[in-house]
Structure 1
């Protein structure tokens, strides 16, 4: 079964690649100890501290522990002595080196949630094979039962080119996409035949959808969209962009559609928005309503909001604080106008700290030095500053300024001491 599945998958992948080629010739607890318990006043403090101390005693670095509790925060609620220690001791007694132990657990901390030391050891060994033996497990074929079947299916996905980070999450997940035999095989075939690249998260998302939903259920979801004005091919276009678009209930799909209409969009405009960014369906009715109130409260007109949603549908999922801080910075600090934001709303999706402040710091420095004299406002168009790649920005505003290059590069690299006149908090 597996060899034929792999052969079929590889043929389909190559076919889709050739078609494509022809078609398109948490900062963790900032300013505090990285391991300080955020619930320090709760009774669980001692327990979580015990977990952190245990990990430290087994050689985990601060970076690895940060990754572990960021990836799997529930680990802090487990009992260090009765749940975690026996598993770590068992792995060590079986010959696991400190480097293997810390590397594997920091990558897949959820294996410590598996019941019993034996189960943890099976997953540990399999993950070690995946990491160190180019994905070829030396023992998964000998393991029987659900665990062995899961591992064999994960091996198939690995040989198809699914990256480690997706494999590991599938392996330790409680959901079912890598369980079973025939159903797994059928689901993978459907995903591959639709042209999803195994190296992307969309491949895994599509696998979830096809495994968890029957053909009848999928047809019913397509019918829901069809009744709202989507053509069948448009529904599948959305699925290709974001497979989870078929996982929503009829109530949720209809509710999102009607909420966007109440924002001022017509039926065809809503269809266009959802086709462009189907992820906007994740936003709740309350979130979208709050978003409208935020934009209108800042000073945008209803027509301008509709224009921004049509261009950048993701804006309906932004928090009120996020939008306010960015607009205050762009308009209040930098001197651009609201109409500039309306013209390129995707800027609201850029990071304030990593993109806006460094780039605007460079521009502000050039204005203060008189380098940009000659423009009416002194500030270049927002699009030329923010809506371009780092390479283009550097060539446009940094590299051609000779003696100023070191200072400008320091600002661009995020040296806040060099950024003058930008009164914005980026914490």
Structure 2
């Protein structure tokens, strides 16, 4: 393989390399690993590598790696595949992403294998840029069997009132790529939920967003029973959150979580109250819980029992929401600008815009550096409130 060919592979030819032997030597030293790989693939895969670079937009390094998985000696089939993708709305950028993630797509039969799948996606409402975005994010969906996977799984999702948009989100998941009895398991679990009165809209939400519904049916039924026995109303959305918490944790893990809260003086009733209010309390790490409660109790001065009654702060992002918002409210409390008995959820659950309007901008005349405190640019001490 000559230097010219190597330089073309790299996409550039160093200026003056032919006239300057030192520059040539320096260039070769810096590209030796790439050159070795080029030599190793030049005979058998040179056309494949060249095609991946020139027609699909892959980098030389990525093309060489992909050539270890696919090989072709003429562009007829790959050209047809790319033409179908372009006709379906894929740009060069989309095609580069698709081929990088799923290079063997170039080898499929474009008319018999690829086209029917693209037509299926169009038939359920996905075309143009939207379809191109889906394919470039998860091109492996094109490896699924249309008759044995995509169509039956789509029909099943529609039978439980899943929208086309959400059905596509589910189909893209790797767990839905198998042809096993996943639908049977989900159907059994859905029947359990329907029997106790869970609204179909809540069930659809569970199917789309949580893997809980895929849990083994006997274990799922057991967890549903426990959540009902704890007093959660199947008609309310918190029931789903509680079920998710139970399905994601074991009994021993839940006992460990309870022990963490006991260290802060919570009684069994207070722990149960917090869990009923915010079921995700049982899924948080010990490190996170300890950090948040230390801040709320020791720095903010809140009573542990008050936190258990309104535990929203434990479940939110500590650095981005809890600390800055609580810091602002603490200053406003000390200044007498807000009520002392205000619940934390009152200000922690607000949107960013609403919080700024109601608690920062509104009081800037009284506390000029309130925005700086909120943004972490000044501390309590710098505002004259001690540490």
| Alignment TM class, shorter chain as reference | 0.5 to 0.7
Q: How does 1:318-357 map to 2 (within 5 A)?
A: 318-357=284-323
Q: Is 1:418 the counterpart of 2:369 in the alignment?
A: no
What's 2:140 paired with?
172
* Partner Cα distance (1:126, 1:192) in 2: 28
Q: How many residues align?
A: 319
Contact preservation (8 Å) 1:344, 1:383: yes
Q: 1:303-327: per-residue Cα shift (whole Å, max 9, x none)?
A: 1221222222222211111111111
Contact preservation (8 Å) 1:312, 1:345: yes
Indicate how the Cα distance of structure 1 residues 392 and 207 shifts in structure 2: closer, same or farther if over 3 A, else same. same
* Partner Cα distance (2:157, 2:371) in 1: 45
Contact preservation (8 Å) 2:310, 2:343: no
What's 2:361 paired with?
399
Q: Is 1:246 the counterpart of 2:209 in the alignment?
A: no
Indicate how the Cα distance of structure 1 residues 403 and 389 shifts in structure 2: closer, same or farther if over 3 A, else same. same
Q: Is 1:266 the counterpart of 2:229 in the alignment?
A: yes
* Partner Cα distance (2:53, 2:217) in 1: 53
Q: 1:78-98: per-residue Cα shift (whole Å, max 9, x none)?
A: x99869x9799546532445x
Q: How does 1:101-112 map to 2 (within 5 A)?
A: none
What's 2:18 paired with?
none
Contact preservation (8 Å) 1:312, 1:346: yes
Contact preservation (8 Å) 2:49, 2:67: no
* Partner Cα distance (2:327, 2:372) in 1: 10
What's 2:170 paired with?
205
* Partner Cα distance (1:373, 1:214) in 2: 56
Indicate how the Cα distance of structure 1 residues 409 and 160 shifts in structure 2: closer, same or farther if over 3 A, else same. same
Q: Is 1:132 the counterpart of 2:91 in the alignment?
A: yes
Q: 1:55-111: per-residue Cα shift (whole Å, max 9, x none)?
A: xx899xxxxxxxxxxxxxxxxxxx99869x9799546532445xx869xx9xxxxx9
- Bigger Cα Rg: 2
| Local SS of the residue matching 1:242 | helix
Q: How does 1:20-419 map to 2 (within 5 A)?
A: 89-90=49-50, 93-97=53-57, 115-116=69-70, 130-132=89-91, 143-144=110-111, 153-154=120-121, 158-159=126-127, 166-172=134-140, 178-181=144-147, 183-192=149-158, 194-200=160-166, 203-205=168-170, 213=181, 216-222=184-190, 225=192, 231=195, 233-234=197-198, 236-243=200-207, 244-257=211-224, 260=226, 266=229, 268-269=231-232, 274-285=239-250, 286-366=252-332, 371-372=335-336, 380-403=342-365, 407-413=369-375, 415=376, 417-419=377-379
TM-score, structure 2 length as denominator?
0.62
Contact preservation (8 Å) 2:332, 2:338: no
Per-residue deviation, 1:183: 4.9
* Higher relative contact order (Cα pairs below 8 Å, separated by 6+ residues): 1
Contact preservation (8 Å) 1:361, 1:411: yes
| Local SS of the residue matching 1:181 | helix
Per-residue deviation, 1:419: 3.2
What's 2:385 paired with?
none
Per-residue deviation, 1:354: 0.9
